[in-house]
Amino acid sequence: MTSDVRKMPTGFGRLWTAQTVSSLGDGVSHAALPLLALTLTRDPMALAVVTAAGTLPWLLFGVLGGALVDRWDRRRTMWVTDAARAVLLAIPAAAAVLDVLSIPLLAAVAFLLGLGGLFFDTAATAYLPDLLGRDPALLERANSRLRGAQTAASGFAGPPAGSALLALGRSLPLLADAVSFALSAALVRSLPVTPRPVPQVRESLLSQARAGASYVFRDRLLLGLALRPAVGNIAFVALETVLALFAHDRLGIGTFGFGLLLTAEATGGLLGAGIASFLGRRLGTGTALTCTAAVEGLAILGLAAAPNPYVAGLALAVCGAGMGATMVLAPSLRQAIVPAHLMGRVASTSRMLGMCAAPFGAFLGGWLATTYDVRTPLYTAAGLLLTMTAVTSTMTSNRRVEAALRAAAPADDPAHPESSEPVQAGAM
């Protein structure tokens, strides 16, 4: 394919750098926040509240947020959101210095950070295919690089740094994340402006949101791509809710060791992102997605049964590899087959399904750990992942993927009127 030798646009390098810097800050806070919460409470349900709060914006505003992104300038949406998140993080940092940090404050900050993430992630997902001309091969290469850098920064480098910064002071990880958001905002603001598809028919925001949701639910391939992260988020958030407690109480891992445990997962994720394109070519995108989902479930089963930190780290590395490959292949496919004028809404609807499921995972993990045992959420997560893999395997088959790509091959008309009709080739 000629697109395989095409160079990335200059703007992609800045976008890549911006997301890498922001991901490094996220990795710092990802390791530090659970440990910070543990300094305030040992109640699994209280920890679940903080975890769930960050996902609630997707439940409340997910589809409407996508409709707004399709109306707004996507570049501006990204940099304004990151600037706002940088300012927001100064609040808990100051509270930590003044020794007035609390679980309700952490939950409120998590909610607002999640709201910012809704707008930034949706805008970035919609901006990338515009920047790359909706070229499938370039999209896969770009998502591989973005995912690899995100994994290396947020999982490989960030968690040990977060644990180390927390040992020096409770406010330091939060300040580091704030700085990363500020730098990201500055870089994103310098990106080129891309044309925004303008619909011929003026519709209300609610009607446009419904059109995007309908497009996903009426296409079996897009629905299958959305259901996997939805069920997967129940499983992974249930796991993450108790992971710090599991690592401390059952594996005997301390603060620094917990950061290394997350780094093991990130190492696997980096490998998975790197081999995603190879797996897609060798197995077909549909089959590759089914295999990576199965690997995730089996790896979590191994984590639940892990007798020591070394086995646990290996299990998380294998799980990370499956997740890394999945998070390159699935978004690239979605960006290649969805029309530009619906991209924000389809992306937000798909993400909303996953994020809306996450609060259930948080409370499920907290309830299972409280009622039964801290390992129980891990076994439950593995069962959910393996069941989801079996149910969606035919929805994302190679045949459906190839049909959808053929149907989307003609270039989209930016002036195409709003439509809620799915790509019928993908809905076979």
pLDDT tens profile 332-377: 888 888 887 788 888 888 877 877 777 788 889 989 988 998 889 9
The rounded distance, in Å, linking the Cα atoms of 200 and 98 is: 54
Give residues with Cβ within 8 angstroms of 133, minimum separation 6: none
Highest mean pLDDT among 59-63, 302-306, 347-351: 302-306
CA dihedral 106, 111, 112, 116 (to 10 degrees): 130
- The answer to whether 32 and 162 are in contact (CB under 8 A) is yes
Q: Say how many Å lie between the first and final Cα of the chain, rounded.
A: 27
pLDDT at 134: 74
Residue for token digits 């909303």?
352
pLDDT at 20 over 80: yes
Condensed to tens digits (0 to 9), the pLDDT of residues 173-231 reads: 888 889 989 999 999 999 888 766 555 456 777 888 888 888 888 889 998 998 888 88
Q: For residue 201, what pLDDT is reported? A: 54
User: What's the pLDDT score for residue 415?
Assistant: 36
Query: What is 268-283 written as a DSSP string?
Result: HHHHHHHHHHHHHHHH
Distance CA 178, CA 75 (A): 20
Element at 236 (helix H, strand E)? helix 220-249
- What is the separation of C-alpha 200 from the centre of its chain, rounded to a whole number of angstroms? 32
How sure is the predictor about 299, in pLDDT bands with cuts at 50, 70 and 90?
very high
The average pLDDT across 78-91 equals 93
Residue 87 burial class via C-beta count within 10 angstroms: exposed 0-12, middle 13-18, buried 19 and up: exposed
* pTM of the model as a whole: 0.71
402 vs 163 pLDDT, higher one: 402
Question: Residue 418 pLDDT > 50, yes or no?
Answer: no
Contact 406, 292 (CB under 8 A): no
Q: What pLDDT shows up at residue 168?
A: 82
**Signed CA dihedral, 261, 262, 263, 265: sign only:** positive
